[in-house]
Amino acid sequence: MSERFISTRYRTDCYHCGEDADQIIQAVSAQAQVVCSNCGATRVFIPRFETAGVIGTCTPIGRYDLWDIETEAWCKHCGVSGPHNLVVGSGHLTTRCGNCGYMHFYRFNLEYIDEQFADRGEVSAPPGSS
Ligand SMILES: [Zn+2]
Ligand SMILES: [Zn+2]
């Protein structure tokens, strides 16, 4: 990914492995993804729309808590690097420029387990029960 937009992490209980682990969040115009640093569970979000207008407050209904994160990013709309509001829910992910209000809206596409990613962490599989 050559374009660099949002790259941050958020520590919370993983919906998949249940561990308190960093969830690595990366977003570019074409895609956003959230990866658990412990188990490698990956959620992929694809863009739905981008808007400079105001949309009403989303009232998401989902299985997971909403993550409401503030992160630094470069806005392609106003060209300012600054704080962006990042919201991750079970079915969507949105980013909003703190300067001009430009929003990227992604919707959940698929999830999978990135075992290679998890292998880079310290995965100590318990020995088989005897
Ligand atoms: Zn996990
Ligand atoms: Zn902006």
Q: Quick one: pLDDT at residue 129?
A: 44
Q: Determine the Cα–Cα distance for residues 117 and 50; give it in Å rounded to an integer.
A: 30
Q: Which residues contact 117 (CB under 8 A, 6 or more apart)?
A: 35, 37, 40, 42
Residue 97 located in a structural domain: yes
Ligand 2 centre to CA of 42 (Å) is 28
Residue 34 located in a structural domain: yes
> Quick one: which ligand is closest to 83's CA?
2
Residue 127 located in a structural domain: no
Residue 126 located in a structural domain: no
Residue 30 located in a structural domain: yes
Residue 128 located in a structural domain: no
Q: Quick one: pLDDT at residue 56?
A: 60
Ligand 2 centre to CA of 72 (Å) is 12
Residue 87 located in a structural domain: yes
Give the other-Cβ count within 10 Å of 33's Cβ: 20
> Which residues constitute the domain of residue 64?
6-120
* HSE-up of residue 95 (Cα within 13 Å, Cβ side): 30
pTM: 0.80
Q: Quick one: pLDDT at residue 130?
A: 47
Write out residues in the chain with pLDDT < 70, as ranges. Answer: 1-3, 54-64, 118-130
Residue 32's nearest CA partner among 44, 15, 48 is 44
Ligand 1 centre to CA of 42 (Å) is 9
Residue 125 located in a structural domain: no
What is the domain count for the chain?
A: 1
**Cα 63 to Cα 31, 91, 94, distances in angstroms:** 22, 9, 17
Q: Quick one: pLDDT at residue 117?
A: 73
Residue 96's nearest CA partner among 2, 4, 12, 6 is 6
